[in-house]
Structure 1
Amino acid sequence: MEILRKPILTEKASALTEKLNRYAFQVDHRANKLQIKAAVEKMFGVQVKAVNTAVVTGKMKSRQTKTGIASGRVAKYKKAIITLNDGDIIDFYSTIQ
């Protein structure tokens, strides 16, 4: 099971990072807080202070088709907010060339 799916890089998440040293990740819906903490510490080599999780419900979407309007829902996902100890940072852009 791949626990960390991808980082969430939105304006709100960036503000959390700058002000409170918190990072947001989309994680596997079966992962618990202890597994998420271990995965972040192993992958990035940092000390995690706290992990908060939330299940984000998918938004309703509709689109026009040839036969009418099709509606559906975007898939739900689990979000983890990771708080790091003072002095630790995660640099997502260091490996981009």
Structure 2
Amino acid sequence: MALLNRKKATDTEAKPEKKSVPVKAAPKKPAPKKAVKGKAKEAEKPKKEAKAIHSSYSNILLRPIVTEKAASLGEDKVVFQVPLDVNKVQVKKAVHAIYGIRPVKIRMITLKGKSIRNKFSRALGARSAIKKAIVSLPKGKRIDVFENV
């Protein structure tokens, strides 16, 4: 019933304003460090960090394509799905940055998207376009994408 309870101009003027009091934060005290003779030498050694991968390279190789047809290409070839606007040079740099292997040859395949129809309900849909990159590796080098399948 907000229509019947209209506020008047005098109601807003009569209310006093609230003043805010700032809260002071207590200064933080550093925790006392315990001196241990044997542990001090281990803490001084720099730890090896994982190799940082540039974020643009992780967006190039979307996922490995693990199919029977891709596995039959051979041990020195790996198939990846890549974005539609990526070229061979970018794929070559991404494989080298992520896996540390320089590819010998790269072939690209673009599968165009198609409109499809369900034959029972006649519902229309679309199959999205994808791009595949077939990466040929040097002899003796291998990327294990089929290992956990």
TM-score normalised over the length of structure 2: 0.54
Q: Are 1:7 and 2:7 an aligned pair? A: no
Which residue pairs with 1:50 in the alignment? 105
- Percent identical pairs in the alignment equals 35
CA distance in 2, matches of 1:15, 1:29: 25
For structure 1, the 5+ residue unaligned runs are none
Which residue pairs with 1:78 in the alignment? 131
Q: What's the offset of the Cα at 1:93?
A: 5.6
Which residue pairs with 1:39 in the alignment? 94
Could you say which structure has the greater relative contact order, defined with CA pairs below 8 angstroms and 6 or more residues apart?
1
Which residue pairs with 1:17 in the alignment? 74
Across the two proteins, how many residue pairs are aligned to each other? 91
Instruction: Give 1 or 2 for the bigger CA radius of gyration.
Output: 2
1:62 to 106, 110, 117: 117
Contact 1:47 1:88 in 2 (8 A): no
Contact 1:48 1:83 in 2 (8 A): yes
Q: What's the offset of the Cα at 1:42?
A: 0.9
Contact 2:104 2:136 in 1 (8 A): yes
Q: What secondary structure sits across from 2:85 in the alignment?
A: coil
For structure 2, the 5+ residue unaligned runs are 1-55
Q: What secondary structure sits across from 2:72 in the alignment?
A: helix
Contact 2:66 2:146 in 1 (8 A): no
Q: What secondary structure sits across from 1:9 in the alignment?
A: coil
TM-score normalised over the length of structure 1: 0.81
